[in-house]
């Protein structure tokens, strides 16, 4: 991966995440080493990796420079993060900055407005898309969130946590919990696997019959599959102890598939875990919560809707994320965002804002705007 010529971007900043209870970090020491091989210097904010059990000394040993403040990290030519910039970070956005992180602009229009106003070039992990439609930088966090969802659901099904008092796997002579997973993508698939491993009664719904066939073939009937339509959603959700929302539209706002009226008809003290909340949520009654205050009750149903679920396991999540993001970070640093986009169509999809304009048509449409062709 050594770059024979000077990179387009000579310095990368890694600030500490400021979102509530977000302990992931956007680069590991191995990432520092790889970028150094390409002639790129990395500046890590003091303590940025501590929450993920990565110390300053680990970064320094890999060749990074530890800087004292967020402003120092943000002052570099390119900044890599995990989550979208918060309001207190908008001051760091500027025209000569490339920002590479999860953005989810359809759910956070204020972030879009700030990026456009500052004319910042932004690349979103969640819209980097390969020729086969894969989302390589969304997949690892989808898998983590999906595996966490049944764990969190099981926890809040406990009576002292507000739930129905149902054990996921039941016991001999007592039925297990009924778990309904809406969506059979990476989140839904991972959720179903873990819920089935906990010996719950699991049903997965999706419009994609090929995806359902895949689930059925792998799990040999241990996981039930249903074609998703309003009728099947209503019947299963009303009988569920735990509903996991796992519906994704790449770059866009998640469609609402469970109405408020349907939530009112659910079992008392059933639990909803809406993993799609960082894209607006697929349950009508969802509003984003935090790790410190993760649940609320509405219509007698417990809602868990933490917008950065993988932040609960930051060590695992950091390494899973950076395994996927590093090759793309390297490419953007070495060739620049527009140069990398011209070389790699997946990165072209990742471009969200450039010089005050939207660059991704799906994201722009979700915000009532129009994208322009920025690499022609």
Active site residues: 104, 278
Task: Please give the Cα distance from 315 to 321 (Å, whole number).
Answer: 10
Task: Please give the Cα distance from 83 to 86 (Å, whole number).
Answer: 8
Task: Please give the Cα distance from 191 to 234 (Å, whole number).
Answer: 20
Task: Please give the Cα distance from 192 to 146 (Å, whole number).
Answer: 8
Nearest one of 353, 376, 365 to 101, comparing CA atoms: 353
DSSP for residue 5: S
Laid out side by side, the sheet with 351-354 consists of 65-67, 41-45, 11-14, 78-80, 98-101, 121-124, 351-354, 357-358
162 phi-psi bin (left φ>0, alpha ψ -120 to 50, beta other): left
Q: Are 304 and 287 in contact (CB under 8 A)?
A: no
Task: Please give the Cα distance from 39 to 37 (Å, whole number).
Answer: 5
Task: Please give the Cα distance from 260 to 257 (Å, whole number).
Answer: 10
């Amino acid at each position: 991966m050594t770059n024979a010529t000077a990179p387009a971007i000579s310095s990368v900043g890694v600030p500490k995440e400021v979102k509530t209870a977000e302990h992931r970090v956007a680069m590991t020491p191995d990432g520092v080493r790889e970028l150094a091989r390409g002639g790129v210097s990395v500046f890590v904010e003091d303590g940025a990796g501590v929450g993920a059990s990565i110390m300053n000394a680990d970064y320094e040993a890999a060749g990074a420079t530890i800087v004292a403040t967020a402003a120092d990290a943000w002052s570099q030519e390119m900044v890599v993060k995990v989550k979208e910039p918060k309001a207190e970070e908008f001051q760091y956005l500027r025209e000569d900055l490339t920002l590479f992180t999860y953005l989810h602009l359809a759910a956070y229009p204020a972030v879009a407005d700030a990026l456009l106003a500052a004319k910042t070039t932004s690349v979103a992990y969640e819209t980097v898309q390969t020729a086969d439609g894969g989302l390589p930088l969304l997949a690892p966090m989808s898998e983590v969130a999906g595996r966490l969802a049944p764990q969190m659901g099981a926890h809040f099904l406990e009576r002292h946590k507000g739930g129905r008092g149902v054990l996921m796997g039941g016991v001999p002579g007592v039925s297990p919990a009924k778990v309904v997973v809406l969506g059979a993508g990476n989140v839904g698939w991972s959720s179903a696997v873990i819920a089935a491993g906990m010996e719950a009664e699991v049903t997965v719904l999706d419009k994609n019959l090929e995806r359902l066939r895949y689930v059925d073939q792998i799990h040999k009937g241990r996981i039930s599959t249903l074609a998703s339509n309003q009728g099947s959603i209503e019947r299963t959700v009303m009988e569920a102890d735990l509903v996991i929302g796992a519906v994704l539209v790449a770059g866009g706002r998640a469609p609402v598939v469970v109405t408020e009226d349907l939530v009112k008809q659910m079992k008392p003290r059933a639990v909803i875990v809406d993993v799609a909340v960082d894209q607006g949520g697929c349950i009508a009654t969802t509003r984003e919560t935090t790790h410190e205050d993760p649940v609320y009750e509405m219509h007698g149903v417990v809602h868990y809707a933490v917008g950065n679920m993988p932040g609960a396991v930051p060590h695992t999540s950091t390494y899973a994320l950076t395994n996927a993001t590093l090759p793309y970070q390297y490419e953007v640093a070495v060739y620049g965002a527009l140069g990398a986009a011209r070389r790699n169509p997946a990165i072209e999809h990742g471009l969200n804002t450039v010089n005050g304009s939207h660059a991704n048509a799906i994201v722009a449409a979700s915000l009532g705007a129009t994208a322009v062709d920025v690499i022609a």
